């Protein structure tokens, strides 16, 4: 640089050397022309135009360097530094980015700490922290730390922002509180065999110690499983049994503080039948019954009883009382000349007992004002071979439209009914529905097809003989098909 200036001064008798400040204030030079190739080696003579191009190039390069260095400046200090959380070994801090970042941007942050009473500041992050949150780990419980944060970019370190007071490294104790869900504040009822999965949330810091008891005693870990986290505890029973019923108590404890809550669990099932039932009196068309409560109520209160009657001739049971609350009842409107037996079911919130208590004796309804005297002659034999009182009638139906075949039969003992198609027993084919009530026999053919036509027969059979009736079913195609 100096030798070029000396040459220029020797040829033009002027001061061509400019200081850095003068170069910065000088007007921008014109766009330089392409540089002339250098003179042959050994020739010390420089033409004026060659020298001028060289000076212009050096001047422009110098101006660029000056402006680049001037634009690289550090940011202002970060703001709003405070402690978000802390425990026995760590401190979590958060802050906001600097208000003035500048054109150089922001590369990250350096977090520095030192013990209270010293100025031995040390960085705790090996690499620049990008986020505005940092957890200072592996600290000693009871230490008091001074903490500051510095923003870093190409211009260097910003002024630090520091916490106003040293921070004590220790867990902040928060009194425990059980947040029992509303549905668990009442009695929790479940059926035998159900899966029990109850979640009880709580709060408290540091992590509370959770204990469970049942009726004041430790839990049976073979029946009940407990899983606890920092925020809740789960009581789990894979398949509930009645012995799992009871009062469960959860206790959460932090240091000398604790909180408790109770859950009443009731496991229920269907009740047993009433212990006994008897006929107390019979008069006119009425029968008075009494029964006793079941020995097993299914672990819940009995909500009622269902009373049924059966005529000795048919043996079919009919309900006469439902959801009845008393332990005695009067059954009326019985048929004169019939003999009845009665049975009683118990009910609770799970449903009706699977079995019933049945009266040992039967009640016979006599004619009013007439004392019945058994005849001296031999009792009439009502045995009778099956006989159809109504035969089957030929029918025609359309494809896809269900139809029924009906007939009636009598006989004693009650005959066994069999339906046949083209002399083949239908059996339990789901396409056909067979019903026989009080001697009325029906066969429903569901949505018949083209091949369901033919000769259908109904055969009745008992110990004294059998009878058969038949009809022809024609299945027509739909019009237009």
380-398 pLDDT tens trace: 788 999 999 999 999 999 9
Q: What is the pLDDT of residue 171?
A: 76
Rounded CA Rg of the chain? 52
Q: What is the pLDDT of residue 368?
A: 66
Q: Looking at the predicted structure, is the pLDDT value of residue 369 above 70?
A: no
> What span, in angstroms and rounded, lies between the C-alpha atoms of 272 and 183?
29
CA angle 64, 70, 76 (to 5 degrees): 150
Domain boundaries, the chain: 79-169, 174-268, 276-365, 384-476
Q: What is the pLDDT of residue 71?
A: 60
- Name the more confident of 143 and 72: 143
Structure tokens belonging to residue 364: 């016979």
CATH number of 384-476: 2.60.40.10
Give percent above pLDDT 90 in the chain: 64
Of 41-50, 118-127, 302-311, the poorest mean pLDDT is in: 41-50
Chain centroid to CA 88: 36
Structure tokens belonging to residue 148: 């500051």
pTM (2 d.p.):
0.45
Q: Looking at the predicted structure, is the pLDDT value of residue 66 above 80?
A: no
List own/partner pairs for 80-83 with CB under 8 A and 24 or more apart: 81/147, 81/148, 81/149, 81/161, 81/162, 81/163, 82/163, 83/163, 83/167
Of 51-65, 132-146, 309-323, the poorest mean pLDDT is in: 51-65
Q: What is the pLDDT of residue 57?
A: 42
Q: Looking at the predicted structure, is the pLDDT value of residue 417 above 70?
A: yes
Mean pLDDT over each residue of the chain, to the nearest integer: 84
pLDDT tens digits along 425-465: 998 888 999 999 999 999 999 999 988 999 999 999 999 99
Mean pLDDT of 143-171: 91
- Name the more confident of 337 and 2: 337
Integer CA distances (angstroms), 352 to 2, 289, 327, 455, 461, in order: 115, 19, 16, 45, 37
> What span, in angstroms and rounded, lies between the C-alpha atoms of 333 and 191?
39
User: What is the topology classification, in CATH, of domain 79-169?
Assistant: Immunoglobulin-like (2.60.40)
CATH number of 174-268: 2.60.40.10
Among the listed residues 314, 351, 309, the one whose alpha carbon sits nearest the alpha carbon of residue 329: 309
Q: Which sign does the torsion angle of CA 279, 283, 287, 290 carry?
A: negative
Confidence of residue 372 (pLDDT cuts 50, 70, 90): low
Q: Looking at the predicted structure, is the pLDDT value of residue 240 above 90?
A: yes
Mean pLDDT of 189-200: 94
Residues 6+ apart with CB under 8 A from 17: 2, 5, 9
Using an 8 Å Cβ cutoff, are 35 and 47 in contact? no
Q: Looking at the predicted structure, is the pLDDT value of residue 3 above 70?
A: no
Q: Looking at the predicted structure, is the pLDDT value of residue 371 above 80?
A: no
> What span, in angstroms and rounded, lies between the C-alpha atoms of 417 and 386?
10
User: What is the topology classification, in CATH, of domain 276-365?
Assistant: Immunoglobulin-like (2.60.40)
Integer CA distances (angstroms), 166 to 94, 96, 122, in order: 15, 20, 15
> What span, in angstroms and rounded, lies between the C-alpha atoms of 475 and 401?
9
Q: What is the pLDDT of residue 350?
A: 92
Structure tokens belonging to residue 446: 């569901």
pLDDT tens digits along 96-133: 999 988 888 899 999 999 999 899 999 999 899 999 99
CA angle 175, 178, 179 (to 5 degrees): 120
Instruction: Count CB atoms within 10 A of the CB of residue 216.
Output: 8
Q: Looking at the predicted structure, is the pLDDT value of residue 44 above 90?
A: no
**What stretches of 128-220 adopt beta strand conformation (E)?**
133-136, 144-153, 156-157, 161-162, 167-168, 174-178, 188-191, 196-205, 209-214, 217-218
**Biggest alpha carbon–alpha carbon distance for the chain:** 172
pLDDT tens digits along 320-332: 999 999 999 999 9
Q: What is the DSSP letter of 194?
A: P
- Tell me if domain 79-169 and domain 174-268 are identical in fold: yes
Q: What is the pLDDT of residue 25?
A: 44
Q: Looking at the predicted structure, is the pLDDT value of residue 420 above 60?
A: yes
Q: What is the pLDDT of residue 460?
A: 95
DSSP lists the bridge partners of residue 333 as none
DSSP lists the bridge partners of residue 396 as 474
Phi-psi region for residue 284, left (φ > 0), alpha (ψ -120 to 50) or beta? left
Structure tokens belonging to residue 348: 């609770």
Please give the backbone phi and psi of residue 420, each rounded to the nearest 5 degrees, phi first.
-135, 150
DSSP lists the bridge partners of residue 283 as 286
Q: Looking at the predicted structure, is the pLDDT value of residue 12 above 80?
A: no
Using an 8 Å Cβ cutoff, are 98 and 146 in contact? no
């Amino acid at each position: 640089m100096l030798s070029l200036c000396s040459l220029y001064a020797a040829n033009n008798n002027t001061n061509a050397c400019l200081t850095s400040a003068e170069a910065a204030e000088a007007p921008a030079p014109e766009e330089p022309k392409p540089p002339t190739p250098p003179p042959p080696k050994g020739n010390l003579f420089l033409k004026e135009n060659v020298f001028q191009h060289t000076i212009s190039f050096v001047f422009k390069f110098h101006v660029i360097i000056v402006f680049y260095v001037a634009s690289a400046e550090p940011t202002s200090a970060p703001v709003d530094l405070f402690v978000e959380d802390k425990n026995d070994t760590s401190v979590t801090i958060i802050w906001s980015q600097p208000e003035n970042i500048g054109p150089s941007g922001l590369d990250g942050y350096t977090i520095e700490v030192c013990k209270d009473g010293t100025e031995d500041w040390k960085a705790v992050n090996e690499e620049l922290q990008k986020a505005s949150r940092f957890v200072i780990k592996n600290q000693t419980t009871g230490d008091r730390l001074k903490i500051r944060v510095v923003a870093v970019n190409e211009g260097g370190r910003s002024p630090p922002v520091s916490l106003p007071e040293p921070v004590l490294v220790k867990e902040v104790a928060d009194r425990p509180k059980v947040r029992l869900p509303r549905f668990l504040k009442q009695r929790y009822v479940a059926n035998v065999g159900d899966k029990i999965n109850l979640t009880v949330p709580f709060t408290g810091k540091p992590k509370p110690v959770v204990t469970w008891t049942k009726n004041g005693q430790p839990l049976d870990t073979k029946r009940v499983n407990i899983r606890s986290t920092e925020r809740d505890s789960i009581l789990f029973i894979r398949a509930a049994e009645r012995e799992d019923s009871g009062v469960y108590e959860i206790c959460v404890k932090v240091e000398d503080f604790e909180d408790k809550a109770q859950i009443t669990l009731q496991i229920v099932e269907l009740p047993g039948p009433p212990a006994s039932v008897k006929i107390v009196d019979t008069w006119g068309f009425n029968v008075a019954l009494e029964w006793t409560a079941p020995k097993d109520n299914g672990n819940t209160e009995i909500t009622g009883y269902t009373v049924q009657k059966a005529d000795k001739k048919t043996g079919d049971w009919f309900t006469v009382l439902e959801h009845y609350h008393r332990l005695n009842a009067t059954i009326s409107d019985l048929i004169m000349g019939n003999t009845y037996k009665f049975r009683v079911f118990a009910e609770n919130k799970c449903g009706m007992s699977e079995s019933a208590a049945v009266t040992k004796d039967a009640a016979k309804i006599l004619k009013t004002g007439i004392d019945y005297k058994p005849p001296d002659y031999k009792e009439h034999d009502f045995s009778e071979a099956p006989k159809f009182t109504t035969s089957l009638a030929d029918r025609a139906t359309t494809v896809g439209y269900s139809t029924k075949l009906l007939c009636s039969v009598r006989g004693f003992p009650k005959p066994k009914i069999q339906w046949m198609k083209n002399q083949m027993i239908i059996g339990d084919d789901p396409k056909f529905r067979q019903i026989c009530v009080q001697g009325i026999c029906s066969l429903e053919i569901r949505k018949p097809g083209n091949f369901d036509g033919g000769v259908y027969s109904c055969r009745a059979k008992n110990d004294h003989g059998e009878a058969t009736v038949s009809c022809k079913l024609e299945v027509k195609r739909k019009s237009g098909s």
